Amino acid sequence: MPPKPAPITHRINETALALLDQHPEGLRWVDLNRMIEAADAGFHPKTVNGCVWKLCERFPDKVYKPEKGVFRLVKYRV
């Protein structure tokens, strides 16, 4: 029996964290959404939006918002 694929929200969160790691300066909400959607056409835009909206809530030890609408990894905090 083949292994079950990771849930969509898990894959979206992994993609978001990987993109934020590639952009130490942080990403604006709209840019992060577009990049995640471009990474996998199978991601539904509303699901992407919901996952990005809750990034800071779900990963407070990894993601923070230095200003409104911008997401950045904690490891790049100045």
Number of structural domains (the chain) is 1
Report if residue 12 sits inside a domain: yes
Whether residue 1 is contained in a domain is answered as: no
pTM for the full model?
A: 0.90
Q: What is the CATH number of the domain that holds 43?
A: 1.10.10.10
Cα separation, 8 vs 71, whole angstroms: 21
Domain hosting residue 71, numbered range? 8-76
- Cα separations in angstroms, 59 against 2, 47, 53, 70: 30, 17, 11, 15
- What is residue 78's three-state secondary structure? coil
**pLDDT tens digits for range 13-36:** 999 999 999 999 999 999 999 999
Residues 46-77: tens digit of each pLDDT = 999 999 999 999 999 999 999 999 999 999 99
